[in-house]
Structure 1
Amino acid sequence: MEKYTFKNYNLKKKKIGRICSLIANDIINYSLLKIKHRIIISNYSKVIIKEKEVFYKHSGYPGGLKKITTLFFVKKHGFNGLITKTIEGMLPKNRFYKKNIFKSIVFK
């Protein structure tokens, strides 16, 4: 039976960028040490978000820049999607990228 190390984060009244950078840092450190880990996130619906924060994505065609505000993103994907998207943006893009993000985070 595999042993996992668990780390709990309570997001109640915390700013999303600050707490997600801490979570991303823990994911990187645990994966470099090759420790089996799970990060448990609780009270994620009570996180502080700004209305003016914007996600950008580009289709690759001229004039294909799209802007999505955080409020629209939360309506479409929920707070789970918002938190995973911000953590994904803070992780290094290497071969462990997808494995690290999807296997390590547990929403509660």
Structure 2
Amino acid sequence: MGIPITRSGKDIQHGVKTKVDLKFSQNAGFNEVLSEVAPFLGDHRWTLVYGLQALVGDLGDIMHLWEVEVFADIGAGLNAAFSDPELAESLARLPEFMNNETQQILVETPYSP
């Protein structure tokens, strides 16, 4: 178990970072899908802390930082998302918009405020 991440007085044990490389000019479609995915994951104990996109530079870079209190909820949330028939329709559209996505499970550094 990692060092707890504390936010708003609550200990969060894990963070998940996703980095997405979008195809040229596909932000709108990706944003539409994620507007369905984010609340779904929220119902499965993932909290979206930041969803950020580039203002300058590579405009196809998207980054999400999620808080997940219990490690098992990382896999459980992803399994629920890919098992839900309604959400599956939206998730099936993602390859239209993305070149690549990477995910990392994070813990707080010792020097973090």
Instruction: Name the structure with the higher strand share.
Output: 2
Tell me the TM-score normalised to structure 1 length: 0.31
TM-score of the aligned structures, taking structure 2 as reference length: 0.30
Higher helix proportion (structure 1 or 2): 1
